[in-house]
A and B are shown apart, each in its own frame.
Chain A
């Protein structure tokens, strides 16, 4: 991640149109109106006096979005599908990714978005954001630095707020301050060199999801009847009202927004069709000065099952999406349906570096198991006992390559040694290594005995909704039984999997390998124990989060070294130094070989209708970088 160095002031507008607009702005508002144009229905409303003129609706300067392919035209509806009531992730990826600063298309750097520019001090303790003058919420109310301070100080930092919070921020550490209407400053007690990336991540938009003029009605600091207001709206408490209405949940269509489309129907689990329409106050224009978005409406059908979504896709009822249905299993069906459904497949670069990471519990409560699992050779031998090529052949029709839990080849942190060590299938050598470890005694079933004379039985729970993980696990059961290891794998409800490892009761945990690209540095869960998802050393991760916290245990020296390096990394505002420190963390991960990887995922895919314009090709796919959001979905348009 080499984004522009802090302390350097960035500006956005480089196009002639914008320069013209800026100079025109000094001459008065009326001049701008001639340079910008808007959707026909808005024009009609302006002519009828129902809507203020465009010049009064756009901030100065508006953001000029360079299209991926071409300048588009107005019209159409973007259709996609949501699964169940809990799929706000897709809305956050498509409609609601409008953070202060955004990732650029290639996930290479952080660029201005709602903020026109920003500054950071050398110590990474003070960040200042400059907003756009005249920026307005979708209801026409002014958007100012006060709104940002409200979201940060009065909601996230509020000790009485008990609802969900944006992930990845250290609230106690940050304080927001509205210097004036267009200047917002965040002051940190401890330096955080990753703050800008965090703001550009999927977690960042919380800043602009709580318009103060609307959301303060639920906050007791501003409204002494807040609790009653919440109850009248059917909520249990004011916290819950905030969480549902003024956070990432989209249950209240009346909440003003800065997004390209404003909501028409709430996503409350009851409505089957969630609709959005163009926001007349949206702050982006194309190089020709047309106000974005091009597409009139966005609709999402709420469905209960993925097979239904898949049928909608192949029937041509989805314009652009890869949500839920774009799996390995479904690809042949979707591929075959292209002609009839009038759509095509576009590739995505999966940021995940593994289709299944096996994490032995190195902080197991049982001392015998702990000792065994902590043995580097034990893990290495089991890794060599896995026939990864067969996994690739069986499950991925030959697409993919044997890979450990390591940054992807495209990543700047790629470490070939870490990626490839112990991936060679060599059961004989694995058996020799296990024998050499002193595990040469076997019981009647051929299962090796541990030093206490108990057969080595490893329990693995895999979530039943993850077909591929279950299949990989079943294959591994066979491979390991050739090594004399009894892997007892069960498909269970996903929540049980979590219940098990988050109470440190697991032998082995298996999950997707997140953190292969730009998310490596923000979410290095498999490289060292750092969050609740680091199941290979849950107690060490707790120690990293809070050494005094429940379940925390002092990590091994190597892990401690990594933790120190990561703390140092966070304290630095210099991306180069951050990269250097992170490489050291990866090097230690290579020596320690914490977790066992299986297969590097081949490229993913998304479905796009043939008449859709500015479709992203080979876009990274991740959560931190909420594909397709960073492409600027407002530039999608329908060709004739």
Chain B
């Protein structure tokens, strides 16, 4: 991206900015942004958090300790096991060896539940790179190694507890991360394409097209989003496969999400059209396409990225809201929304709060993305030189 062409706008913004900050040599716009971004420490920290989430999403199979669909009849609503590192031997020696303790399980027929007690007699050693359930890494490379796991695959390992069917919450959370993040990212990319194309055209050409776009945007923004999602989501043929539903939900979310981006883009286009350097390019005989791509788009890429990064958490939250209403993705697909939908009852709050772990994941991810978006915005704002 850092091509020499964008020096022009960057320079002009600096001149206008009347700053207390004197450039030495020439820094590209991106270097400037990076420099300013670093001052928002919360945003920097958040960036690392997001990177972590992305890694989890990419290596979900490798990181998960259990098969997320595997039902373990004896371990329904098992509480989380604590991971111990120091292994005290019977002869009172010790060594560093991660392990968890097994469960003693009793059934209370009156209360219709299993009661779990930690069984300190039964040590289950946790090993690295153990063999477990089969998967294809990146959908291609067949593997069965996992980062951690038990020596004996039949031993229970529930680091975040298990759900009502005895499935491992941690592994489900890890798989859910992939689906939920990708809904957000793909949805935003779709909105971005729509928003940039439509907003750009409206801003560049103006006139009737602009007016029509404006009315459409106003119209879409006046729609109460949740009922509309509901209507569209309910209209999806139930015979669709999980993948189709996934894309349909993403498209529904982005269909209603592009308006904000289009508004930003149009606004920037209108503003830039009046800039001297754009006029200069036009008088210079540059084609429309060239003016737009070479001279205008680079000038507000940072704004687009900001708007987009702020839209991702919105998409993720929207996915959970749809799932809450029973209209989003459905089991057996695992997303944060699906996991939370299964957990949103008093039984879980009262007896199995570990099932709310996806809620924590959502809060952290959404906060981090918002802070990164804010950091970017602060950094990209040419007037903001504090």
Contact = CB atoms under 8 A, between A and B. Distances in A.
Contacts of A335: 110-112
A329 B352 CA distance: 12
B345 interface: yes
Contacts of A465: 326
B350 A333 contact: yes
A399 B346 contact: no
A464 B238 CA distance: 12
B350 A491 contact: no
A599 B330 CA distance: 25
Given A394-B76, A474-B331, A496-B238, A331 B71 contact: no
Interface residues of B, number: 28
A332 interface: yes
A347 to B, nearest CB: 10
Contact of B165 (A399, A461, A471): A471
A224 B204 CA distance: 69
A397 B107 contact: yes
A328 interface: yes
Interface in B65-93: 71, 73-74, 76
A392 to B, nearest CB: 9
A307 B347 CA distance: 9
A336 B346 CA distance: 12
A277 B329 CA distance: 46
Interface string B324-342: 0010001110000000000
Contact of B113 (A331, A390, A493): A331
A393 B109 CA distance: 11
A521 to B, nearest CB: 31
Contact of A399 (B112, B332, B347): B112
B166 interface: yes
Contacts of A602: 112
Contacts of A470: 331
A510 B238 CA distance: 16
Contacts of A307: 344-346
Question: Per DSSP, are chain A's interface residues mostly helix, strand or loop, or mixed?
Answer: helix
A393 B331 contact: no
Interface string A490-506: 11110010000000000
Contacts of A398: 107, 109
A332 B73 contact: no
Contact of B345 (A314, A329, A393, A395): A329
Nearest to B77: A332
Given A399-B109, A459-B239, A470-B331, A330 B347 contact: yes
B112 A396 contact: yes
B108 to A, nearest CB: 8
B164 interface: yes
B162 to A, nearest CB: 11
B324 to A, nearest CB: 11
A332 B111 contact: yes
Nearest to B242: A490
Contacts of A477: 332
A464 B346 CA distance: 18
A492 B326 CA distance: 8
B291 to A, nearest CB: 51
Contacts of A396: 112
Nearest to B70: A478
Given A390-B73, A474-B332, A332 B113 contact: yes
B193 interface: no
Contacts of A394: 71, 73, 76, 165-166
Given A394-B165, A493-B234, A332 B346 contact: no
B26 interface: no
B172 to A, nearest CB: 13
Contacts of B351: 332-333, 336
A329 B330 contact: no
A397 B76 contact: yes
B71 A475 contact: yes
A336 B107 CA distance: 15
B331 A311 contact: no
Contact of B347 (A333, A459, A471): A333
A100 interface: no
Given A307-B346, A330-B347, A397 B110 contact: no
A602 B132 CA distance: 36
Contacts of B109: 397-399
Contacts of B76: 394, 397
A607 to B, nearest CB: 14
A332 B74 contact: no
Interface in B81-127: 107-114
A444 to B, nearest CB: 15
Contact of A336 (B111, B164, B344): B111
Given A397-B107, A496-B238, A332 B347 contact: yes
Nearest to B341: A464
A461 B112 contact: no
Given A471-B164, A491-B331, A331 B238 contact: no
B331 to A, nearest CB: 6
Contacts of B71: 390, 394, 475, 478
A625 to B, nearest CB: 24
Nearest to B239: A459
B350 A336 contact: yes
A310 interface: yes
B153 to A, nearest CB: 17
Contacts of A329: 164, 345, 347
B224 to A, nearest CB: 18
A396 B109 CA distance: 9
Nearest to A390: B73
Contacts of B74: 393
Contacts of B239: 459, 490
A151 B76 CA distance: 53
Nearest to B350: A333
Interface in A504-548: none
Nearest to B351: A332
Contact of B112 (A332, A474, A492, A493): A332
Contacts of B108: 332, 397
Interface string A326-345: 00111111011000000000
A331 B112 contact: yes
Given A332-B112, A459-B239, 16 more contacts: A311-B346, A314-B346, A332-B113, A332-B347, A332-B350, A336-B111, A394-B165, A394-B166, A399-B109, A399-B112, A478-B71, A490-B238, A490-B239, A491-B330, A491-B331, A492-B238
Top 5 nearest A-B pairs (CB, nearest first) are A335-B111, A331-B112, A332-B113, A492-B238, A393-B73
5 contacts: A307-B346, A329-B347, A331-B113, A332-B351, A390-B71
